[in-house]
């Protein structure tokens, strides 16, 4: 008997849930004053950033590997090098994602696991002290 594994992508609701998460993340980033430094690092039009995050998270959560199919290996650290990312930027990104996950109603257990993974990934993006 084969054991079936359910991906995070499937657990949270697939494409629709990942899309809602990305929409809410960028909506919060654009409107909540505590994320102003994070917002300032992004272009005026957030659609391209939103689409790239959606494609990345799709594969990262175990769904279709859309980012890799379109852009190749994510090379996250390299792609983020042009931006000065320190503790403040990391913490704003993680806090914004935590709010977005809560706002779209993700299960608390899944939020906890994802938050740990998001923090680890965001911390890896740091390229300056402070």
- Taking the C-alpha atoms of residue 43 and residue 29, their distance in angstroms, rounded to an integer, is 12
- pLDDT mean values, one per 10 residues, the chain (130 residues): 80 97 98 96 96 97 96 91 94 98 97 97 92
pLDDT attached to residue 75? 92
Question: pTM to 2 decimals?
Answer: 0.93
pLDDT digits (tens, 9 = 90+) for 43-55: 999 999 999 999 9
Q: 122 CB contacts (<8 Å, ≥6 apart)?
A: 90, 93, 94
Phi-psi region of 13 (alpha: psi -120 to 50; beta: other; left: phi over 0): left
Q: What is the DSSP letter of 73?
A: S
- Taking the C-alpha atoms of residue 84 and residue 3, their distance in angstroms, rounded to an integer, is 44
């Amino acid at each position: 008997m084969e054991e079936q594994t359910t991906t995070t992508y499937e657990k949270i609701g697939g494409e629709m849930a990942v899309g809602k998460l990305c929409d809410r993340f960028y909506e919060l980033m654009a409107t909540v004053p505590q994320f102003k430094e994070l917002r300032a690092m992004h272009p005026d039009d957030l659609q391209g950033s939103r689409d790239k995050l959606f494609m990345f998270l799709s594969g990262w959560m175990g769904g279709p590997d859309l980012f890799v199919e379109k852009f190749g290996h994510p090379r996250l650290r390299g792609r983020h090098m042009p931006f000065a990312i320190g503790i403040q930027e990391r913490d704003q990104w993680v806090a914004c994602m935590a709010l977005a996950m809560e706002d779209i109603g993700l299960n608390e257990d899944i939020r906890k696991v994802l938050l740990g993974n998001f923090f680890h990934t965001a911390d890896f993006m740091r390229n300056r002290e402070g």
